[in-house]
Structure 1
Amino acid sequence: MISNLVGEDLRPPLVRSFAQLASLDPDRPVVTLFSGGLDSSYLLLRLRRMGVREIHAVSIDIGEDESCTYKRQVAEALGARIHILDRREEFAARHVAPAIAAQAVYLGIHPVSSSLSRPLIAQAAVDLARAIGAQAVLHTANRSQNTLRRLNGALGLLGYEGAFGSPYDLDPVTREQKLAELGEAGVGLLAGRIVSGDSNLWCREFESGILDDPELHEVPEEMYTWSRPTAAPGETERLTVAFEHGLPVAVDGVPLGLTEMIDQLNRRVGAYGLGRYSGLEHLDHGEKVLEIREMPAAWLLLNTYRHVESACLDAELIREKRHLEQVWTREVLEGRWFGELRLSVQAFIDSCAARTTGSVTWQLRTGGADTRSISARRPLYLRDRELWEEHTIAAESAPFAPQPTLLATV
């Protein structure tokens, strides 16, 4: 087992370098998180060269771009046993849906995305590791990626008994070296990428490479898949999304599961060029990096939820909720999905969601959208202001109407 760097501390050791991997027992299984990308493939190569006999590469399918066939080819070429686990429905129901109700937007800049998937990925890896008696769960995030603290945080809060972490934390390897060594091993499937990417059914995200410099960055149009405008000039489209008790349930009156709904909305809303985001996100010590996203379904569903919520909930309740939304978002971003504070805030958000039922009709147009109907089952809005004024004045003017008490009586 990898030596614990904190002396007599009995917490599981944190893996931070390739040198630490030398202490692995070659006869005990190791679990690695595997995306099919350059970093995760190179880690498989290093473990194979170290003589680890049983390497389990875990790929969690949450709607990412890379195909399962591609991942299987790379993992098998590097001597790993691959586990491709379909978690799309779970990701949508247990992670994306709460994020919609929590209005999980990073500092008002962009919806959170990859941070929602890290707890699910960590949980799946820990479940497998415990089932096979693995000595370590390894991932490949580096210190310029927020995934490092999110995965480490989730693995720690899950109480995984073995070693875990990323050898790239203290021991980065150049892209050229990784490509060269993989090529020498007969794996040449990974060349040609100009950015780092992370994708799931909720978001396609790009960073690094040609997007390193916030002061000078251009995203090639072909990198976008969902939000590339295809609608004809002047074309518009009406679209209605319905929520019940905080959950999106139907589009244009047709009941849909959330996974299917997100897929449909990414294409329909994206056809009008909506749902692109760019922004800076902080690292552990406060430095910031540029990230580019396309999230058409998220754009529409988050805005729809806020409109329905505003029709159902008292204004003061929404003001307090907006504060707690950022607490929820912060806890998720910092890798504390399984922490007590996020779970406590979730209970408040769930209580608000239980009263959030209604629908919004949008008119989509290139570059924007306008509401055409906001409807709620138990609305707080007025539909006839003049009639409301007449009723309230009449009630206050009634001869036997109770008058306000200025002083308390005993």
Structure 2
Amino acid sequence: MSDVKKVVLAYSGGLDTSIILKWLKETYGCEVVTFTADLGQGEELEPARRKAEMMGIEEIYIEDLREEFVRDFVFPMFRMNALYEGVYLLGTSIARPLIAKRLVEIAHETGADAIAHGATGKGNDQVRFELSAYALDPDIKIIAPWREWEFKSRTDLIDFAEKHQITVPKDKRGEAPFSVDANLLHSSSEGKVLEDPYEEAPDYVYQRTISPEEAPDKATHIEIGFNSGDPVSIDGREMSPASLLGVLNELGHDNGVGRLDMVENRFVGMKNRGVYETPGGTILHHAHRAMESLTLDRGAAHLKDELMPRYAELIYNGFWFSPEREMIQAACDLSQQDVEGTVRVKLYKGNVTIVGRKSDRSLYSEDLVTFEDDHGAYDQKDAAGFIRLNALRLRTLAARKRRD
């Protein structure tokens, strides 16, 4: 890395990445370009620009990526109904490939020879950033300060900051009660007060949802319109991807929807307890499955369910840009051509209940399922032969057991 002349840093403007910025300059003697992405984390980003300017940075990228994030990353994932380990909606995982993509693109635009990130050596994010970057540019150089520098504690970092006149906010001088990552899809909290998996998370951990106990006593009803597997409207009003997810987030927040407390298996080998809030995503997940239940053929639906855990694991482990993820995505997207219509959803005290669904592409037939006269649509006598054929191997096995 001795020949690194210019680095693009994923920069939040916070204490850690400001320390990294100064450390890169000191350690590598290189020029630093900062990149700050607006993924809907809910923070004002202009302070990041001012802080970078104060630290002598001339090339500063601050970009609103919310629409691209939801349209090209979140929605494709939700078309697959992806859940990691059966419950996690992958809110942090899905943001990393987009950030890595822009880091690499900005490196090409500015002539930088390396990118840098602030992920620690214990977590999944270092893997996600770097696998994505290498998939897009096999020759890119990557600097991960947490794996390189000599700092051993929070005190060491603060001492370095003060030595180099980097402002240390009062709330950063003590140990943070937990760490937070947020974007338009979710917020995640982990560490410190959450490290004992038997202790209930304190109320102050939750930021995106009110407690289900404090949610209104009256249910909220909404209608979500779908086209080709993606949500396109709420209560008949068409919206852009990011706007629609934002409205679902507000509805989920107000009804205490989308809380998850889980112990997950990190890709690097350890178990970790995380508290996640995905209000809009939780509503969308249930609504999309309901739309598929009406419009998707049984074989296609069951195959999707078989492929889903593998797909979710690929995203969690950082393989968004892998050929196998793209292959599964292509199959998934083919299945979504007729997934269109409207789903009626009831939100009540943390619950998402599907109460209705309709579609011009529906495979549901009242003539076939009715308990009344179906006018010859289904001959019940046909079931006898169907059952006997399917029972043949079971009867053969039973006969052998009886002989034994």
CA distance in 2, matches of 1:45, 1:277: 37
% identity of equivalent residues: 27
**What is the CA distance between 1:337 and its match in structure 2?**
1.0
Does the 8 A contact of 1:126 with 1:160 survive in 2?
no
Does the 8 A contact of 1:122 with 1:154 survive in 2?
yes
Distance 1:396 1:355, change over 3 A: same
Match of 2:7 among 5, 26, 30: 30
Residues 210-245 of structure 1 show CA distances to partners (whole Å, capped at 9, x for unaligned) of: 222323352333641344569764222211111111
CA distance in 1, matches of 2:162, 2:147: 24
Residues 95-145 of structure 1 show CA distances to partners (whole Å, capped at 9, x for unaligned) of: 011011011111112201111111111111111111222121111111221
**What is the CA distance between 1:51 and its match in structure 2?**
6.6
**1:161 equivalent in structure 2:** 139
**2:17 equivalent in structure 1:** 40
231-240 or 56-65, larger mean C-alpha shift = 231-240
CA distance in 1, matches of 2:94, 2:144: 19
Superposed, 1:168-187 pairs within 5 Å as: 168-169=146-147, 171=149, 173-187=152-166
Q: Is residue 75 of structure 1 aligned with residue 52 of structure 2?
A: yes
Distance 1:396 1:223, change over 3 A: closer
**1:54 equivalent in structure 2:** 31
Flag the structure with higher helix content: 2
Does the 8 A contact of 1:154 with 1:337 survive in 2?
yes
**1:63 equivalent in structure 2:** 40
For the aligned residue pairs, the C-alpha RMSD in angstroms reads 2.8
**2:283 equivalent in structure 1:** 300
Does the 8 A contact of 2:209 with 2:257 survive in 1?
no
Q: Is residue 143 of structure 1 aligned with residue 121 of structure 2?
A: yes
Unaligned runs of 5+ in 2: 389-404
**What is the CA distance between 1:46 and its match in structure 2?**
0.8
CA distance in 1, matches of 2:215, 2:127: 44
**1:119 equivalent in structure 2:** 97
TM-score, normalised to structure 1, is 0.85
**1:360 equivalent in structure 2:** 343
CA distance in 1, matches of 2:379, 2:189: 60
Count of residues in Structure 1 that have an aligned counterpart in Structure 2: 381
Distance 1:244 1:233, change over 3 A: closer
Residues 7-56 of structure 1 show CA distances to partners (whole Å, capped at 9, x for unaligned) of: xxxxxxxxxxxxxxxx254xx22111112233322111212334735211
> Counterpart of 1:289 in 2: which secondary structure?
strand
Does the 8 A contact of 1:202 with 1:295 survive in 2?
yes
CA distance in 1, matches of 2:125, 2:336: 29
CA distance in 2, matches of 1:91, 1:190: 30
Q: Is residue 194 of structure 1 aligned with residue 177 of structure 2?
A: yes
273-282 or 84-93, larger mean C-alpha shift = 273-282
**1:374 equivalent in structure 2:** 357
CA distance in 2, matches of 1:335, 1:395: 49
**Letter in structure 2 aligned against 1:92:** V
**1:256 equivalent in structure 2:** 239
262-271 or 206-215, larger mean C-alpha shift = 206-215
Unaligned runs of 5+ in 1: 3-22
CA distance in 2, matches of 1:305, 1:387: 26
TM-score, normalised to structure 2, is 0.86
Superposed, 1:228-239 pairs within 5 Å as: 233-239=216-222
**What is the CA distance between 1:178 and its match in structure 2?**
1.2
Match of 2:259 among 267, 273, 276: 276
